[in-house]
Structure 1
Amino acid sequence: MTHRLALSTLGLPGMPMPDVARLASAAGYQGVELRAHPEEPVHPGIGKPERAAARAEFEALGIEILTVAGYAKVTTPLTPQELPELVALAHDLGASYVRVFPGGDGTPEADARAVQQLTRAAQLAEDSNVRILLETHDSHRTGAAAATLLDRVDRKGIGALWDVMHTWLGGETPAESYAHLAPHLGYTQVKDIASAEDTTPLPLGTGALPLGDCLAQLPPDAWLCWEYEKRWYPDAAPLPGLLAAGRAYLTALSEI
């Protein structure tokens, strides 16, 4: 069995949902991670008809909406509705996960706030059959740092999203990152970059990230999502032309 593959719409800024669904299907991906931002077609502000239409577009082609990639920063004060709105959007779309960021300054007060806000949202997530995943990012970019929060929450509805670039930039080996994240892991974001100094997105397998070592840690049926950060690097090569080669590369690594 090989890993299941998804693509992130961060690499397809502003693309209409029918086009995303067709592109994912044609390139051989099984899922999508939808960037849930107001500048994108799908975000918490859209209504029930738009949600149903988006869900139907992907279901018609057998593509799973894996994640609603939100921008809530859980170490900072959130509005009472911020996480519930993301969970509701994921539920309406049939998505398994909601992505959130740490977004803090590493202080004990910020960490305590993150634990409190994630714990408060856990029951709603569980009742909605959704998991809120804390991405290894910014103030908690390593597996060790993210696990310090997740171990304290310790709820089924709260988990981890392993961004392999950030844990590598944080100085962890893939084995170290996975050991910390495994009890909480929802899925893994893969990407490639030239170096720690140049994080411009590259085609998979052409940069410095130890992707083979990362995939070797994972169960054979784990989800991998290619997060190609075209939105932040407009001069990067367009993603559509890279998708087939990226799928072939990840499939080959999965079979080693």
Structure 2
Amino acid sequence: MRLAMTTLGCPKWDIETVFTRASDYGFDGVDFRGLQENLDITRQPEFTSEMDQTRRLLDEAGLSVSALSSSIEICNSDSSEENVSRARRLLPIAHGLDVEYIRVFGKGDSDTQSDSEMARTGRTTMEQILSLEGATDVQWIVETHDNWTQSEDCRVLVDRVDSPNVSVLWDVGHTARTGSESPAETLETLGSSIEYVHIKDAVYEPDHEYAMDDGWRYVAPGTGELPLAETIQLLRRVCFDGWVLFEHEKRWHPELQDPEHAYPAFVDWFKNLSRGR
């Protein structure tokens, strides 16, 4: 398994700092969900006019860009034009930095549409995206999120899209905390469709000042109530060799630990877990 960090966790770092510290901390890759104040990297010079410099910094750090985490919502019929536009802008970045994965959301309006109808829209959107030049050189990963958090629902969407270029991003925090699934249940349902994994931990403390709407709050990996160790053990058992991302959401939750401490602590935790400590 290869370890990646997300730029959600370090919203104040410039791109050189991102690469330097990711390498120093022992990560293998960086997942871009924005950079500094801008969530849309396709509008930033580091990924357009200054792409050659970004590529040089990436190579010097000995890293990969594990994924580009987009805001594309494939099951939203009223935003299909914007979805395709976003995909079109992301593809030159993916090709320029040798990125294999682009994350998308399912979303959709579950109040007015059935899962089947939303999945049909998802298929149509992905067909439009995959018709773009170079789109089949990339793997588009659908996150277990929103209407598609539970593994059986996500399976319905991915099966309906029915493309070898579309697979699953397993967010363990979502399936366990929101979907009420054990890691074994998720893995049994989604199996080899899983190509990318998000890791974060949380505790259920509904009265805490930083609790989210569902009563949970994020904590350092290994200190919470989510089945992270069990998940890693199961992934090893099936010889998963993809990316494991520490999704440190400092941008959304400023009360979380600063990245200078959270990121190296995650790498230490993961390596100790590997050694059985």
Paired residue for 1:212?
229
Residues in 1 aligned to 2:148 and 2:135: alpha-carbon distance in whole angstroms: 27
Instruction: Classify the secondary structure of the residue corresponding to 2:220.
Output: coil
Identify the match of residue 99 of structure 1 among 82, 99, 103: 103
The counterpart of 1:155, out of the listed 145, 159, 163, is 163
Distance, in Å, in 2 between the alignment partners of 1:27 and 1:204 is: 16
1:132-187 Cα shifts (integer Å, max 9, x gaps): 11111111112221111101222121111111111112111101111222232221
List per-residue Cα deviations over 1:79-116 (Å, max 9, x = no partner): 24222222332222221111111122332332211121
Alignment of 1:69-218 (within 5 A): 69-76=69-76, 77-79=79-81, 80-106=84-110, 107-108=113-114, 109-124=117-132, 129-168=137-176, 169-195=178-204, 197-218=214-235
Q: Percent identity?
A: 29
Rg larger for = 2
Change over 3 Å in CA distance of 1:145–1:5 after alignment to 2: same
Residues 52 and 179 of structure 1, relative CA distance in 2, 3 Å threshold = farther
Contact 1:200-1:236 at 8 Å conserved across structures = no
The number of residue pairs the alignment matches comes to 254
Give the Cα separation in 2 of the matches to 1:18 and 1:74. 32
Runs (4+) of structure 1 exceeding 4 A deviation are 123-128
Q: CA RMSD in A?
A: 2.2
Letter of the aligned partner of 1:217 in structure 2?
A: L
Q: 2:25 aligns with which of 13, 23, 27?
A: 27
Q: TM-score, normalised on structure 2?
A: 0.84
Match of 1:239 in 2: 259
Deviates more, 1:171-180 or 1:76-85: 76-85
User: For structure 1, which segment, 232-241 or 75-84, has the greater mean C-alpha deviation from structure 2 after superposition?
Assistant: 75-84
Structure 2 regions of 5+ residues with no counterpart?
Answer: 206-213
How many angstroms apart in 1 are the aligned matches of 2:242 and 2:4?
11
For the residue of structure 1 that corresponds to 2:42, the secondary structure is coil
Which of 15, 18, 21 is the aligned partner of 1:17? 15
**Segment drifting more, 151-160 vs 19-28:** 151-160
Partners of 2:136 and 2:165 within 8 A in 1: no
Residues 81 and 9 (structure 1), Cα distance of their counterparts in 2 relative to 1, 3 Å cut: same
Greater share of helix residues, 1 or 2? 2
Aligned to 1:7: 5
Could you tell me which residue of structure 2 aligns to residue 68 of structure 1? Answer: 68
Counterpart Cα distance in 2 of 1:199 and 1:240: 24
Distance in 2 (CA, whole Å) between partners of 1:122 and 1:36 is 23
